[in-house]
Amino acid sequence: MGVGDVSKRILLGRKLRSAQLGETLLPKRIALPVFASDALSSVAYAPDEVFIMLGIAGASAYAWSWKIGLAVALVMFTVVASYRQTVHAYPSGGGDYEVATVNLGRTAGVTVASALLVDYVLTVAVSISNAAQYAASAIPDLIGHEVLVATIAVVLLTAMNLRGVRESGSFFAVPTYLFMVAILGMCAYGFVLMLNGSLPDAESAELHIRPEEGWEGPLNQIALVFLLARAFSSGCAALTGVEAISNGVPAFKRPKSKNAATTLLLLGLIAVSMMMSIIVLANQMAIRFVDPHKLEQLRTAGGDAVAEDYQQHPVISQIANGVFQDFSPGFYFVITVTGIILVLAANTAFNGFPVLGSILARDGFAPRALGSRGDRLAYSNGIVFLAVMAIVLIILFDAQTTKLIQLYIVGVFVSFNLSQLGMIRHWSRHLATEKDPGERRRMQRARAINTFGLGLTSVVLVIVLITKFLAGAWITILAMGFFFLLMQAIKKHYDRVSEELAADETDKALPTRVHAIVLVSKLHKPTLRALAFAKATRPNALEGVYVSVDDKETAKLLEEWDDRNTGIPLKVLHSPYREIIRPIVEYATAIRQANPRGVVAVYIPEYVVGRWWEQLLHNQTALRLKGRLLFTPGVMVTSVPYQLRSSELAVEREEREEHRVRPGDLRRGRVEDERDRQITR
């Protein structure tokens, strides 16, 4: 088998290398794009939402937009400042979940975890829906098919993540830096034009916005506050994803915390400058942007409604179209990188999900299997779950970013709040014991920052809850509640089991004797091997056991058995109805009952095959038998494998599987050395 040999050598070559899997820590310039794509991508939709909300009262309300922008920027810097404290205090990368659990207890931790779970689903739904809108603004043929485009994109992302895509620094760095260049470059060019006085109007500049009913004319105080509150809470969508860095501290180069904090500050600065630039330019270019479901608000100069087929493009798209009027490659470049960064943001959810899952598994809030990296099945289930939920949302909400945003922000601010509260507790606890005045001052400052942060984010959370509850936030809260209860139930189960299993002093008794039985179906190599292995363990009693369903076959086997002269007696159990399992279970039970302090060791010869359909043809009875014997007290079940030739295929497949990259590896600092791969391939 030449091919077999070669594949074996390749295999073994790779197997040796596997020990060299190493940690690659990220410098700031790579860490920024790895962790920032989610947060930065928000500028693709946050300004649009501000304009939509203000537009309810007509285009005149747009005058408030930059003030709203400043308010969002204030929240952004506050949150950034708060998380800079977190990364110093919790360099282990547990993020909000760890902060809440350690300082506020299990309930708060699980609340944060359920908020994060819901958030991951929404990140996928919002980012991909938004990306579909950008795609449609560049390729008019896609207009009206956004749901389909978004669904296909989620399916592709899912496939990619199931397959295992090698994430590398450059995988994130190139598109993220291109996005920064595109947006900031576009804005800079726009400002130059503005100073020149040659900034063109946007495509929608000639339109008017008819205020919604009840919002016409000068607004009273309460209405105005409510309007601004709604616009502000929508604008806070820009904050989603900021917390990502606090989960990724271990992946940073040393000094980890310091580098993470610096990166966080950079991220805040870039995000805010992008958002403010876009808002200012949009105002200067007199963009008119309304809820895509209420296009009838838009009126032509004559006061008529716009044409039925009027296409409203996203704000960035309109700006790019205006600024790059005579240079369409510029327009396409901006749209393309915006779309890519949104897809990348969605991908971070696919990465974050298994990481969170493994942390929750470690603490007993999720199935333990999620905790070990190797369990691809668990990973796959999580990824498919995430994708299915996101697709459901996309279809349900018609791939409309505006509608999905209503669900998005609650979860984010729930974890912001609990995290800040946790940090305040953290500093207070440390202050209680800390004596060094310098250190105390640092802690007091940090606590002040977190207190201010909590104040601000709690106000935002209240605003978000008031303005968005009926618009969709209730769905988020319901989903969070579901995950919360599920995780508590899992934890409770594990605790109960753990209590039942706790060792006490009565467990020291040693079984007095071992009665071994070897299951015989035929007298072939696997059976002989099982007999040999069983004999090697030198049990107190050893016998072969054969279930007879056919007299002729039984006679033949008995003859062969005698010929072999193994020195081991063969017990024949008769089963007129061709039942295999029951007679064996009953026999094992009988042996055990005769000697309650002994152990029955059942040896099952198994063929090991490599192809899935071979599995269907073999070992099904052995599998069921093992399942049944496990329920029989005092019995232990030993599988004695006999590897058939085809089993090599499976070993090979398994090796490939182990080497496969799993989502989230990069942000846990787990990267295979690139050169190493080259050599072994």
The encoded tokens of residue 376 equal 């691809």
Q: Where in 16-45 is the site for a copy of itself (CB under 8 A)?
A: 18, 21
Q: Which is nearer to a copy of itself, 170 or 620 (CB)?
A: 620
Q: Using the rule CB under 8 A, which residue among 380, 488, 554, 621 binds a copy of itself?
A: 621
Q: Using the rule CB under 8 A, which residue among 525, 556, 656, 660 binds a copy of itself?
A: 525
Q: Where in 561-600 is the site for a copy of itself (CB under 8 A)?
A: 564, 577-582, 599
At what angle are helices 46-55 and 315-323 packed, to 10 degrees? 100
Give burial (CB, 10 Å; 0-12/13-18/19+) of 643.
middle
* 92 makes contact with a copy of itself (CB under 8 A): no
* 490 makes contact with a copy of itself (CB under 8 A): yes
Q: Whole-number minimum distance, CB 646 to a copy of itself, in Å?
A: 9
Please identify, among the stretches 323-331, 332-340, 459-467, 522-530, the one whose residues bind a copy of itself according to the rule CB under 8 A: 522-530
Please check whether residue 51 is in contact with residue 429, taking contact to mean a CB–CB distance below 8 angstroms: no
* Selection from 415, 449, 526 nearest residue 112 by Cα: 415
Return the bridge partners of 543, or none.
517
Per-residue contact string for residues 261-300; x = within reach of a copy of itself by CB under 8 A: ----------------------------------------
Q: Looking at 549-654, which runs of residues are DSSP E strands?
A: 570-574, 599-608, 635-643
DSSP 247-286: H-GGGBPSSHHHHHHHHHHHHHHHHHHHHHHHHHHHHHTT
Angstrom distance (rounded) from CA 615 to CA 623:
11
* 1 makes contact with a copy of itself (CB under 8 A): no
Q: How many CB atoms lie within 10 A of CB 528?
A: 16
Q: Where in 113-132 is the site for a copy of itself (CB under 8 A)?
A: none
Q: Whole-number minimum distance, CB 532 to a copy of itself, in Å?
A: 5
Please identify, among the stretches 53-61, 173-181, 226-234, 507-515, the one whose residues bind a copy of itself according to the rule CB under 8 A: 507-515
> C-alpha 283: how far from its chain's center?
37
Angstrom distance (rounded) from CA 46 to CA 233:
10
* 254 makes contact with a copy of itself (CB under 8 A): no
Q: Whole-number minimum distance, CB 120 to a copy of itself, in Å?
A: 20
Please identify, among the stretches 176-184, 264-272, 307-315, 601-609, the one whose residues bind a copy of itself according to the rule CB under 8 A: 601-609
* 378 makes contact with a copy of itself (CB under 8 A): yes
Angstrom distance (rounded) from CA 641 to CA 655:
19
Q: Which is nearer to a copy of itself, 104 or 629 (CB)?
A: 629
* 430 makes contact with a copy of itself (CB under 8 A): no
Angstrom distance (rounded) from CA 356 to CA 120:
10
Which ranges of 285-362 would DSSP assign to H, the alpha helix? Answer: 315-323, 328-362
Q: Using the rule CB under 8 A, which residue among 438, 500, 551, 681 binds a copy of itself?
A: 500
> Omega of the bond prior to 255 within 30 degrees of 0, cis?
yes
Q: Where in 624-653 is the site for a copy of itself (CB under 8 A)?
A: 624, 626, 628-633, 635-645, 647, 650-651
* Selection from 65, 81, 165 nearest residue 671 by Cα: 165
Q: Which is nearer to a copy of itself, 183 or 650 (CB)?
A: 650
* 537 makes contact with a copy of itself (CB under 8 A): yes
* 526 makes contact with a copy of itself (CB under 8 A): yes
State the number of CA atoms in the 13 A half-sphere of 254 facing the CB.
1
Size, binding site for a copy of itself by CB under 8 A: 91
* 139 makes contact with a copy of itself (CB under 8 A): no
Q: Which is nearer to a copy of itself, 28 or 628 (CB)?
A: 628
* 372 makes contact with a copy of itself (CB under 8 A): yes
* 529 makes contact with a copy of itself (CB under 8 A): yes
